Amino acid sequence: MAGMEGLGRLFDIGLAVAPVDIDTSDAATGKRIDMSHATGVTIVAITLAGGANDLVFDVQQHTASVSGTSQDLDPTGNALATGVDHYYIKAETALDNDEAWVKVSQTAASEVTVVGATYGTQQKLVAIYVAADQLADGYRWLSVNVACTTSTSQILAVLYILHDLSRQRGPANLPNLLNAGAANA
């Protein structure tokens, strides 16, 4: 339909990790996001070229927007959480939109490791999909933490793109992403 914006109708965007030098901070703790009003989220990271350092993304699930119980989104010991079994990456010395997505498969786990020996010296876009129904019973919030395995500088930022929203609204009327479920009750 002409004139219909995607923001608020198809997706919403939230901050996971503000731009940071992951080496300087050693690890970045991601903000939490309420998954109760969407069928899934794509976690999107963008990095500058760095050294041959691995980047490790760790997807967490939580029972509250602050505090509560937190645990890895691992399939082990969790009847519903299924973990992440693949991600997508675009990588090149200088990203310029002529790259194709490459699917990287892995054993299901909460951690996704982008191998520095392969991608460290390239700019990267990393996309990790998590469905809302992958969270265990009682867990409504999701976050992603990022760590770097070496001392080489690695600048990155991470966004959440929630999609298939249960209630569509104009962007100015979207609920906040920390407690969206309360606004949808």
pLDDT in tens, 139-172: 999 999 999 877 777 889 999 999 999 888 889 9
DSSP-H helix ranges across the chain: 22-25, 116-119, 180-183
- Per-residue pLDDT at 24: 63
Strands (E), the chain: 11-21, 27-28, 33-34, 38-47, 55-62, 70-72, 84-92, 102-109, 111-114, 123-131, 141-148, 155-165
pTM over 0.85: yes
Condensed to tens digits (0 to 9), the pLDDT of residues 114-133 reads 988 888 889 999 999 999 99
User: For residue 1, what pLDDT is reported?
Assistant: 46
Are 92 and 100 contacting, i.e. CB atoms less than 8 angstroms apart?
Answer: no
Structure tokens at 62: 């939580």
81 band by pLDDT with thresholds 50, 70 and 90: low
The yes-or-no verdict on residue 26 having pLDDT over 80 is no
Concatenated DSSP letters of 13-59: EEEEEEEEEHHHHSEEPPPPEE-TTEEEEEEEEEE---SS--EEEEE
pLDDT bucket at 3, cuts 50 / 70 / 90 = low
What pLDDT shows up at residue 160? 98
